[in-house]
Amino acid sequence: MHYISSGQGSAVILIHGLFGNLDNLKALGKSLELQHQVIRVDVPNHGLSPHWQQMDYPHLARAVLDLMDELGLPGAHILGHSMGGKIAMATALSAPERVLSLIAADIAPVSYDERHQKVFAGLENIDLTRLSNRSEALHQLIQADIDEGTAQFLLKNLNRTQQGFTWKMNLNGLKECYADLIGWHNNLATDAYLQYKKPTLFIRGGDSDYVTAEHREAILKQFPRVQAKTIEGAGHWLHAQKPTIFNRIVCDFINKHNK
């Protein structure tokens, strides 16, 4: 995976969500790098990372562990937002001895219903061969009933070359793997489900519906040492909407459990 490393100290790996890239958690990285080595990654099929045709959480967890091996890291604190939170959780469940602490931002270890079909349709309807500027792409996404903030976020994936526009992300690959990305592989209906018994923090946005009371049992079964924080006045993009309080919660938690 493509990554950027900054700072020195115990390692913290930051993992962005669907359609994002390593810049999404840059402000958090700036807060953490004063005391830690911060590794921000581009998830496969995003940013400058390789394009995969098979993309599920066991494979993504393996990619995180492979990166830790590449960097010579015996252990790391791991934080992920949304899809990145699921990758962080999958890594902790598969190799708990390598994960010092875990933070999941506005996501639960469960399967979700589809909620990105409008986004996929809007992105696919943009004819990159006829696009002359970003403003045209923004207009087309808004016409597809995508709010301007989300549209601006999505268009960070638009790359201009001498030949024209391309997507940095593997849009087709993400669509093909979407069922795996909204799904979850740790089957609680069996006695063999995985657990991560080290310090875990779930941070949710008070205005978000991604983490609800009905997810409580699934969270506690898989992460028995969990704490939870709610940031009022924030939705799913809590790290961007309330960065000061989000960054402080994360830094305090990691520093408390840094051994």
The active-site residue out of 49, 82, 94, 101 is 82
C-alpha 114/C-alpha 50 separation (Å) is: 25
C-alpha 233/C-alpha 204 separation (Å) is: 11
Nearest to 250 by CA among 35, 89, 21: 35
Angle at 51 between CA 45 and CA 56, to 5 degrees: 60
- To the query of whether residue 236 is one of the catalytic residues in this protein, the response is yes
Residues 6+ away with beta carbon under 8 Å from 228: 201, 202, 203, 204
Contact 80, 104 (CB under 8 A): yes
- List of long-range contacts for 110-113, beta carbons under 8 Å, 24+ apart: 110/184, 110/215, 110/218, 111/182, 111/183, 111/184, 112/182, 112/183, 112/210, 113/182
- To the query of whether residue 94 is one of the catalytic residues in this protein, the response is no
Phi (first) and psi of residue 160, to 5 degrees: -100, 130
- List of long-range contacts for 129-135, beta carbons under 8 Å, 24+ apart: 129/164, 131/164, 131/165, 134/158
Angle at 45 between CA 39 and CA 46, to 5 degrees: 50
The active-site residue out of 36, 77, 236, 257 is 236
Quick one: how far is CA 152 from the chain centroid? 18
Pairing of strands 10-15, 3-6: unpaired
Catalytic residues: 82, 236
